[in-house]
Every structure is written in structure tokens, then in C-alpha cells.
Amino acid sequence: MRSLLFVPGDSEKKLAKGLESGADILIIDLEDSVSADRKAAGRGIAADFIRANAGGTGPLLYVRVNDLSTGVTDDDLAAVMPAAPTGIMLPKANHADDVARLSVRLRVHEAEYGLADGATRIIPIITETPHGVLNASSYRPGEQRIAGLTWGAEDLSAEIGAQETRDEAGSYTDVFRFARTVTILAAAGAEVAAIDTVFPNFRDMDAFSRDSLQGVRDGFTARMAIHPAQVPVINEIFTPSTGAIELAQAIVDAFDAAGNPGVVGIEGKMYDRPHLKRAQRLLARAGKGR
């Protein structure tokens, strides 16, 4: 998983274009990009799209439902679960308990429609409310449904009354930098993928590339997109390079050959156990883990 592209659930044209984007995951959106008077239509279009395209060679299909406080989450699930989406994105998650509440609902639908128990994955957006940010540490290892944790700045800015999420230089202000940081830490603590948020200015590809490179540097392993043009950039940046894979394999091989000591030397440079763990994680991302 590298790229996750949002597509409005009520637009057949945009959904079709999403299939051609090269994204690893399409997030069929029933929340922000679908107006209240289009929710019912969007549910039907989304379900039909999933039925027609799930299980093929294209992207995995997730659905972003409306959050649990809206009272319409169950309507979203009732419409799309018979089509067996790969997963559900849960916005405005305030705590790991919200994931547990959603999981119970999914289990009921899986049993009803003959799906394997636990088959439907969950990606919660954990920073869209103040409580969500402060409860980031509630996510623990072992929740099999969670495919990753991600964050968002725009909804949080509305919740706290912030006028901007970034300063004049384009860097996140302190509150949003903190939300970003706790997402990386929460994902690492829960042993799931850390997924970076969207970059709203899809026309500024240079800034988007720089921002994405910073995300990889800091520990994100995937990123969400709001426009198909962003997907190739994400796929390139979040795919480990050949050189990085070769070095990681060399580190793993050196530790194996030496009987897993505390430190090894490769071409005059020393690598210790944290380097080994980082190498193993990179190889796992690249599909080359042992």
C-alpha cells in the first residue's frame, strides 16, 4: 500500500477514472465529497461500482463512511457491505473504541452476507477531532482489522478554530505538526501502516513532492491523494528504491551470517540492531521480507 485516492462515491465518471489512476487503493467517499441530498444516490452508485470491480486486478476498494456521530453510518454500511468492499475508512475516530464499535457492525454484516469474519479492513482517521489527537495512544497491536492509521488537518482546524494549518513558509503550525507526529507514533505503536494526509493544492506538484519526501523521511509509508495526478508521484516516492532495498538486504544478510550479533560492519560502516529492524521493515514494504 502506497497510494490511496479519494473519489466521490456519487460520480460514476470519477470512479471510472480512478480505476485508471494507478492508485493502490480507491477510497470511495460517501462523506465530505457527497452532499446531503446525494447521500442515498451515492450509496447505490458506490455499491454497484464495488460489485462490478472488486476482486479484479485494479485497486483495492475502500469506502469512507460518514462518522459515527452522524447517525447515518449504518445506512452507509447497509448499502455497501453486500458488495464486499475491501475495507472501510472511518472519519473522525475519537478513540480505538470507535474502531471496536465499527468492527462489531462489520461482523454482523459479514455474517449476514456470507463474508469471512474479519475480512473487512478499517483505516481510521485519528486526528480530525481534539479527542482523536489526544487519544492516539489508544490504538494497540493485535487489532486485525486495522490496515493503517491516517490523519487529517482540515477538519481539525474547523474543530479548534484555527485560521490556517500551515505558516507562511508552508510548514504545519504547531497543533497540526503535533497531530501529524502522533499519527506516526500511534501507527508504529499499533504496528500498522502510517498513512500521510492529503495535500490540497494538487496543482503545485513540486511542493507536493517535497512534502511527500518529508513524509517518507519521517516514517510514513503511504499517502492519500485527492487528484489522480498525485498518484504517480506518491507511487514513485513511497516505493523503496533499488539502492535502499539492496542495502537493507545486505544488512539483513550480514546479521544472519554473523549469527545475529549486536552490530555488523559493511564496507567500513557499522550497523546495529535498530538498523536491522529498519532494514527488515523496508524489505517487508518492498515485498522481500523473510
Query: 290 in a domain, yes or no?
Result: no
CA distances from 164 to 32, 127, 168, 178, 205 (A): 19, 16, 10, 15, 21
Closest CA to 62 of 116, 112, 119, 136: 119
110 and 126, same domain (yes or no): yes
96 and 134, same domain (yes or no): yes
Label residue 78 exposed, middle or buried (CB < 10 Å: 0-12, 13-18, 19+): middle
230 and 277, same domain (yes or no): no
State the pLDDT at residue 288: 56
31 and 100, same domain (yes or no): yes
Using the 3D structure, point to which of 200, 215, 237 is the last residue of a domain: 237
140 and 214, same domain (yes or no): yes
99 and 229, same domain (yes or no): yes
pLDDT in tens, 90-136: 999 999 999 999 999 999 999 999 999 999 999 999 999 999 999 99
What are the DSSP calls for 120-136, one per residue?
A: SEEEEB--SSHHHHHTG
Q: Structural domain of residue 270, as residue ranges? A: 242-285
Residues 6+ positions from 186 with CB-CB distance below 8 Å: 126, 136, 137, 139, 149
**Rounded mean pLDDT, 39-66:** 95
Distance CA 136, CA 32 (A): 23
Query: 214 in a domain, yes or no?
Result: yes
Whose cell is 519526501? That residue is: 213
pLDDT in tens, 184-242: 999 999 999 999 999 999 999 999 999 999 999 999 999 999 999 999 999 999 998 88
**Packed helices 96-112 and 73-80: angle between N→C axes, nearest 10 degrees:** 40
* pTM greater than 0.95: no
Paired residues of 25 in beta bridges: 4, 60
172 and 130, same domain (yes or no): yes
